[in-house]
A and B are shown apart, each in its own frame.
Chain A
Amino acid sequence: MTDQTQHTAAGPATTRARRKSQGVLGLRGRDITLMGIVLFLTLAAPFILNPFPATSGMAQFNAGYPDLMQRFVIFGIFAIGFNILFGLTGYLSFGHAAFLGVGSYSAVWMFKLLGYNIVPGLVLSVIVAGLFSLVIGYISLRRSGIYFSILTLAFAQMSFALAYSVLTPITNGETGLQVYTSDPQYLQSADAPSIPHLFGLEMRATETLRLGGWSFDLNFGYYVCAVVMVLAFYLAIRIFRSPFGMMLRAVKSNQQRMNYTGLNSRPYTLAAFVISGMYAGLAGGLMASMDPLAGAERMQWTASGEVVLMTILGGAGTLIGPVLGAGLIKYFENIFSKINDGVLHQWFAFMPDGIEDLLVGIVHPFVGKGWHLTLGLLFMLVVIFLPGGLVEGGQRIASVFRRDRKAGGAEARAAAKRNVE
């Protein structure tokens, strides 16, 4: 039945044409370029994110330090996974942070019980998050639209409350689950590092390259995350282009019609839910691997909301959009929030006193603690003027420079693209 639907949607002719063209690792055309871009961005991130010399005044806009780079890719994975559910099926889950938290707790428990090698932790975090999302998805997916969102939100808040107080013996509540020297760690050998590592290579190991005034941190933990994200991204492309992905899109465009044809769409949506839950679990596991502590706040509804913002900001339903959105939000959270009044006064120091204070007063609400405000404005602008997110912005800019510019512009092409897909 799957096969049949796929044929009607894409048409036999197109399928044949696709089969004819050779691909690399099952990728074709634009996808290879996209994959190349992601590969380049992740590998070169320590250089791209540190464009300013370490001693210059602009250095505070540098984002190329291990902690933040790790966050970029980890939340990238989280958003990619979320997009498989939201972008393809249109089901808006408001509880994905629960899976991230569950993944973190599983990973830390593996550190406590087995040892600091991250592999068992990552495996368990994906499995546990998968099972957890299977249960929540099975119940929540009985409803769609707003009711589904509310159900997932309710489950996530329940998980948060459980982790925060009821399940304190398992989660260590407010203090956060940590590894103690008294923990058994049955597989921890005597000479292994006592911080998370991958077969002896510490996640924290950093090589600092100094070139002139610039310094670049090449961090092992970051590259582990980056490789995982590239794999996760590859998997997402394959899912997007597969017959299964086509089914998910069909759910988004008209689930009712699908049901009338006698097709049960729930197994597909449930599979998508579980896959995106596993992505979240993987992200959670990686987070714990980079810093072996898991707090309940990771599961709070604000964390679930954040990934929705990331996806929409970047471009829901696009492949690279969620990654860009995740990067942007994390950049704001970590860099913009650091700009305090002292820094502002430095910037405007060349002005006369009165004007300086005025300017600082004007800018003050938007930086530092007020970074949420700036982000909110940006989000509004994106949603109003670029409904397709940052990716649509990129396409519009690209179309300005493209030679074979068609009269219709970006919208027409986007519409055409949607029809093809």
Chain B
Amino acid sequence: MSSSNYSRRRLLKTGAATGAALATPTLFTGAAWAQEQGFTNAPTGGTVTLGFNVPQTGPYADEGADELRAFELAVEHLNGEGDGGMLSTFSSQALEGSGILGKRVEYVTGDTQTKSDAARASARSMIEKDGVIMISGGSSSGVAVAVQGLCQEAGIIFMAGLTHSNDTTGKDRKANGFRHFFNAYQSAAAMGPVLESLYGNDRKAYHLTADYTWGWTTQESMQAATEALGWETVNNVLTPLASTDFSSYIAPVLQSGADVLFLNHYGGNMVNSLTNAVQFGLKEAQANGKDFQIVVPLYSELMARGAGQNIAGIPGSQNWDWKLENQLGEKYKGTNDFVQAFGEKYGFPPSQAAHTCYVQTLLYADAVQRAGSFNPCAVVEALEGFEFDGLGNGPTLYRAEDHQCFKDVVVVRGKENPENEFDLVEIVEVTPTEAVTYPHDHPMFAGGELGECNPGA
């Protein structure tokens, strides 16, 4: 044991050190993340860094991987490498393939793990460590809402990737956040008439719903749309996002008296729940004297690939499909250019997740170019009310009131006899923009406030 004595002098020294430590906070003036040019992470030098925060693990990992491919492609095209993809068809011709405002585009990636917590941590490290000026990506509305909130606080732009919940541009809308993807309300509005023509007006619906913001709003929207057709809603069961086996949720469906099952699931969830439903024989079952039907409100090629044969005949909605231009013509130009660029690089057609992420990156770069500044407030101004065409969805509007894009919605069905592993869905109908437009203060979107754009300074 040491027998050293600590004198008064030593005590004074310790005290002084502690005092200095406690006084440290007075150094801070509250200039949060701001830099010389008056906004967060203003790019210096010849490069600008974008942050792509996508799920690389968890139930949406497939979507995340495809998003990442699209981001890489977009960065290539922005820097003038490759064939330029949609740059040539984009109605705004501000981008020249020389980076953004002459600065070469670089990017960092992160893993959201499909968890709000992890996504925010990853986004924070991108902002603080890598100095990104914009964050895009995400394949879960829970994550998108969380990261959008963070970007608003930090003063950088968030270009939402695949997020379909009404809340992203409704209850949780933020001035610094923008969404190109469609939403649950638009899905329901587009699917209503199709469901009526397919299954009639006298149906009983049973909902299995992923238990988070996307599932809730999708279920709410679908219920409202189907009840408007005269359908009855028998039950709505919430399932945890992390579930991988849905047998226990599927088993009671046939006894419930329902004759339509809505799987408000996405990604790996949907692949598993649909597989379970088919294993339980729901597709061949009869209920109330009718054929039992399964509906998947939000569809994607990736899910169709995961679900294989089970997907045949099942209807759903999509933001975009790679066959649009081939089948429906010139209105959807840009589609083929993107599919070709993507196909050449990776060897298969892109998913809608890839499409929306690619487009969002281009839209951001274009807005900066047109605004002549990376300042988030200038970008917000350039994007609000922006009308464009040639990005694969036909004429599109970025509405100023809620930062939501308005464009046509694609209703699809699983093909009965697919010719190859990529051509798994057929386009049933394209619902025009007018039919899926709603007032920005619609009850399903109410309670949100964009607030002021935040440049971070």
Q: A residues within 8 Å of B by Cβ?
A: 14, 17-18, 21-24, 28-30, 32, 39, 43, 62, 65-68, 71, 164-165, 168, 173-176, 178, 180-182, 193, 195, 201-202, 204-208, 217-218, 220, 223-224, 227, 291, 293-295, 297-298, 334, 337-338, 340, 369, 420
State the Cβ distance, B303 to closest chain A Cβ, in Å.
19
- Please indicate the chain A residues that have their CB under 8 angstroms from the CB of B145 in the complex: 175, 178
Closest to B4 in A: A29
Can you list 5 contacts pairing A with B, beta carbon distance less than 8 Å?
A21-B3, A68-B125, A207-B28, A338-B108, A369-B56
> Are the CB atoms of A21 and B28 closer together than 8 Å?
no
Given A175-B142, A207-B27, A297-B115, are A67 and B149 also a contact pair (CB < 8 Å)? Answer: no
Chain B residues numbered 1-30 whose CB sits less than 8 Å from any CB in chain A:
1-6, 10-11, 14, 17, 21-22, 24-25, 27-30
Beyond contacts A205-B32, A295-B117: 15 other A-B pairs, Cβ-Cβ < 8 A, are A29-B1, A29-B3, A62-B129, A67-B129, A71-B121, A164-B211, A168-B211, A176-B116, A201-B28, A202-B30, A207-B31, A223-B25, A227-B22, A291-B124, A420-B1
Give chain A residues whose Cβ lies under 8 Å from the Cβ of B238. Answer: 165
- Taking CB atoms, residues of chain B closer than 8 Å to A176 are 116-117, 142, 146
Q: Does B109 contact A (CB under 8 A)?
A: yes
Query: How distant is A231 from chain B, measured CB to nearest CB, in Å?
Result: 11
Chain A residue contacts of B83, Cβ below 8 A: none
* From A23, A67, A181, A195, contact of B121 by CB (8 A): A67
Q: How far is the CB of A251 from chain B (nearest CB, A)?
A: 24
Verify B11–A220 contact, CB threshold 8 A: no
In the complex, residue of chain B having the shortest beta-carbon distance to the beta carbon of A59:
B129
Q: Judge if B111 is at the interface, Cβ distance under 8 Å.
A: yes
The reply on B150 being an interface residue by CB < 8 A is: yes
Q: B386 at the A/B interface (Cβ < 8 Å)?
A: no
Query: How many Å from the CB of B177 to the closest CB on chain A?
Result: 14
CB neighbors of A among B31-53 (8 A): 31-33, 35
B241 interfacial contact with A, CB 8 Å: yes
Binding site for A on B (CB under 8 A): 1-6, 10-11, 14, 17, 21-22, 24-25, 27-33, 35, 56-57, 108-111, 115-118, 120-121, 124-125, 128-129, 141-142, 145-146, 149-150, 153-154, 171-172, 210-213, 238, 240-242, 447, 449, 451
**Contacting pair B128 A66 (CB below 8 A):** yes
Whether A293 contacts B125 in the complex (CB less than 8 A), given A29-B4, A174-B211, comes out as no
How far is it, in angstroms, between the C-alpha of A60 and the C-alpha of B6 when the chains are bound?
42
- B403 to chain A minimum Cβ distance, whole angstroms, is 16
A48 vs B1: C-alpha distance when bound (angstroms): 31
- Inter-chain contact A65/B32, CB cutoff 8 Å: no
Q: Write out the residue numbers on chain A whose beta carbons fall within 8 Å of the beta carbon of B242.
A: 164
Indicate which residue in A24, A298, A338, A369 contacts B11 across the interface (CB closer than 8 Å). A24
- Bound: A21/B32 CA distance, A: 47
Q: How many A-B contacts if CB must be within 8 Å?
A: 140
Chain A residue at smallest Cβ distance from B150: A291
- Bound Cα distance from A68 to B145, whole angstroms: 22
The residues of A that contact B6 with a CB separation of less than 8 Å are: 22-24, 32
Contact, CB under 8 Å: B120 / A181: no
Q: A174-B241, A178-B146, A369-B57 are in contact. Are A43 and B115 (CB under 8 A)?
A: no
CB-based nearest A residue for B154: A204
For the complex, what is the distance from the CA of A32 to the CA of B1, rounded to whole Å? 13
Given known A-B contacts A174-B241, A293-B116, A205 and B30 have beta carbons under 8 A apart: yes
List the B residue with the shortest CB-CB distance to A69: B128
Task: Name B24's contact: one of A14, A24, A223 (CB within 8 Å).
Answer: A223
B32 contacts across to A, CB distance below 8 A: 202, 204-206
- Cα–Cα distance between A208 and B56 once the two chains are bound (Å): 32
Return A246 CB to nearest CB of chain B, in Å.
15
Contact residues in A for B109 (Cβ distance below 8 Å): 340
